[in-house]
Structure 1
Amino acid sequence: MRLRHMTHGTHEEFQALVTVTADPTCYSQAVGHPHWRDAMDQEFNALLHNNTWRLVPLAPDMNIIGCKWVFRTKRTADGAVERHKARLVAKGFNQRSLYGLKQAPRAWFKRLHDFLLSTGFCASNTDVSLFYYVLDGSRVYLLVYVDDIIMMGSNPSLVNTLLNRLATAFNIRDLGKPGFFLGIGTLHTSAGMILSQRRYMNDLLNRAGMTDCKPLATPASTMQAVTPSDELFDNPTQYRRIVGALQYLTITRPDLSYAVNRLCQFMHSPTVDHWGMVKRVLRYVKGTVDYGLRLSASTSTSIQAYSDSDWAGCPVDRKSTSGYAVFLGSNLVSWLSQKQRTVARSSTEAEYKALADVASEVTWVVSLLRELGLHTGQPSSLWCDNLGATYLCANPVFHARTKHVEIDYHFVRDKVASGEFVVNFVY
C-alpha cells in the first residue's frame, strides 16, 4: 500500500517528459534485472505479511488457478523513475482476495474500511472513498483509491500518529508529499497549488501521433456545427481510445469539458469529420500543456454556482446542452457539460433544466461540507442568465406553463423555498 501525506511545502517545477523504456511482459524478461527481482521480492513478502493465502493439500476436485507477474515502472511528474512495481495476479476467478480477481478490490477495501473504523476514523456517507478523523479540534482526511492513499490534516503530529497505526496492520510505503498521484502532478506555489496533467497530455499526444502538430487557440470551432456524415472513420477503436483518454484529462481541464462531451456522443459510430474534431482538440492540448487547475487559500467559503445551456444546440436531435461550474470561495471545485436527456420546448425550459443539474451538484457539495464540519450554513447562490428560469424557481404561478417539464426538475423550487438556495439573474 502506498501512502502520501500533505503538509505545507514547496515542489520543483514540472519538466518535459523524458523517454520511457518498455516494461517487462513476463517473468523471464524481468528476472535478469536486479531492480525487478527486488520488486518481486517486496511483493511476495507483502503477500505473506498480509496472509493473502494459506497452503492446503491438493485435492482431486480442485480447480487450480495459475498466476502471473505484472510489471510497471512508476514515474514522477517529470518522467524520472520513482520505483519499479511488480504485482502477482491470479489468472481466473474464485472467492479469494488476490490481485487480478473481480472480488479483490472489494475484499481489500472492506479490510481497510474495517480497520480505519476501528482506529477512530469515520466513513463519509457522501463519498465512499473518503474517511475523516476528528480529535480536539484537529482534523485528518484520508482518501482511498484502491491501494493508493492520500492523507492530509491540520496537525502534523496527529497525521504521523495515524500513519504509525496504519503501519501496524499494513505494509505501507510513505511517499511524502503527493508530487504525482494518479497521473496528476501538484506544483506548490506561494499562493497555493496547481494540479497539472502535463505528462499525461504529452503521453496522449504521443499515442495519437500528434507530438509535432501545430497548436490551436481553441478546442472546437464556433462556426461549424456538427452534422451527420456518411463517411465512417476507418479506426473506431482509436477514436474511442483517444476520446476516453481525453475524458480523464478533464479532471484538471474544465476548458475541455464541452468539446470532449461532444466527442463522446459519437463513440458508437465515429465519422471522418468526428476524427477531425478530435485532432482539433489535440492541437489545442498541444498549445496548452502548461495549463492546470489552480487551488489557493480563500477568505470566503461561500458556494457560488453558474449554469447555462444552448437551446436546441444539437442539429441532429435538437437537444440542448447544459453546463455548470461550482465555486467554493475562489476555487473551482466542480464542473460539467452534458447533453440534456429530453428536447426542451423553450429556452426557459432548457435553462431551467441546467439549473436543476447544478442544484443537484450543489446539494451534494453542501452535504459533503456539512459532514466534514466545513459548511457555514449560508445559502448557496445559483446564477442564471435567463429571467424566465429564475422566476420559475420561486413563483409557482407559472406551473400551468411548465406541466410538460419533468417533475424531478421541480425540486429546485423546494430548495429555494427552504432557504438553501438563492437563485440570481446574471447578465
Structure 2
Amino acid sequence: MQYHAYSVHNFRSIPQIANLTREQIDAIEVVGSVLPFKTNNYVVENLIDWSKAPDDPMFILTFPQKDMLSPEHYATMEKLILSGADKARIKEAADAIRLQLNPHPAGQIELNVPVWCGETLSGFQHKYRETVVFFPSQGQTCHAYCTFCFRWPQFSGMEGLKFASRESELLVDYVRGNPGVTDVLFTGGDPLIMKTKILESYLRPLLEADLPNLRHIRIGTKALGYWPYRFTTDDDAAGLLSLFREVKAAGKHLAFMANFNHPAELEGEAVEEAIARIIETGAVIRTQSPLLRHINDSPEVWAGIWQKQVDLGCIPYYMFVARDTGAQRYFSLPLVRAWEIFREAYQRVSGICRTVRGPVMSCLPGKVQILGTAAIQGQKLLTFRMIQGRNPDWVARPFFSEYDEAATWYTDLKPAFGEDFFFKAELDGILRNGAHHQKHEFE
C-alpha cells in the first residue's frame, strides 16, 4: 500500500466524509485548526468502522471532535473560519488558545531539559535518573496524529513549543558523561517516520561508542497501529529490521514501545505480520496506552487488548491516565473510575497478562500509580505509589489522599490526615531551583 496522508486541507476528499453532517465536517476543520489533525489511508480504509461514525472509537482517535475544545474556544475559531479570515489571523487565534491548553505539562520545558557543558539541550529530556529521552529532529511528525496526544505541541507549528535535536554526537557524549543513565528513549513525534538511514545515523554512534552504562535502547512509536507496512512492504523495511538486529548483536536490549489504544489496531494480517517480524529481530515489544473516554473506557476492551497483545507476543506495559493537556477534558475519567476499570480488567486476565501497570499518571513529581481505596482511622482514602520519581528515593513509596470521586489528576487531590504529600517539600525545592536540584546522583 502506498502511504497517503489526510489533514485539514484535504480530508474532504475522503469518500466516507460525505456520510457526515455539515456540522460534523465543519467541526473537523475548526478543531483541526487548533489541535493537530492528520490521518492516512490505512487508518481510513482499515481501522475506522464508518457505519458507526462519528461514534466509532478509531474515528474519534484520529478525527477532531467539536467537544475537544471548550465552547468559548470553539466559537472563536468557528467565527473566524466561517467568516473567511486570512491564515495569519486564524493562526494567531489558534496560538492564543494553544497556550491555554497547558502545552507542556509536568515541567517538560522548565525541569526536564538538561544543561550539559553550559549548553541547554533542547532536543533532550532527562526527568528520571536512568532514562534520557531524545527527540531526533527528523522524527517530529507521525503517520497519523492521535487526538489525545500529550505531545500535540510538536505538530502545532509553534516553534517555541517543539523539542528536537540533530546532535547524535552530543547524545553519545551526554550518556557517556552520565553513568547513571542506562536507557535512551527515542521519541517524537514518531522516530519510525524517519527513513532507516536517518534512524541509523542516530543509533549507530550509540552502538559504536560501546558505552558500558547504556543497556537499553527504546523506540516509542505508533507505527504498528497506524502504518504496519513500515515493517513489511515499505522500501526500507528490510533495512529497518536489519538495524534492529544490529542493536541486539551489539549487546543492547531493544525495547519497542508500541502504542495501541483500541483492539481494532491489532486486527488484520498487516499488523500481525509486522509484530512477528519485529520480534524475530530480538526486539521486545511492550505496549501502552492511556485510558480514554470515548475510546477504551471499559474493562472488556482492556482485558481483550491485553490478551490479544500477549497472543501476538507483546508484553502489556502501562495503562496511563489521560494527561492534563490539550483535549484532556474530553478524554479524562475520574481517577476512581480509572482504577475500577483497571481492576476489573486485571481480574479478567491470567497472570501472564498482568505485567501491565496502571492506572498511572505521568505527572510533575513522577509516575504515580493509583492503587485503590483504603479505610484508615475511619477515613475512606485513595492509595498511591511512585513507580518513577524525580528523586529515585521516592520510588515505591506509598502515600494517601482524601477520597475524591471527581478528581481527574493528582493536583485535584488533597493529602490525607492534614499532612502534605511526602515529596512536596523536595518538589517545591526542585521547582524553585530547576532541574539541577534533582537527585539523579550521576557522579
TM-score, normalised on structure 1? 0.26
Q: Determine which structure has the larger helix proportion and give its number.
A: 2
Q: Determine which structure has the larger strand proportion and give its number.
A: 1
Larger Rg over CA atoms: 1
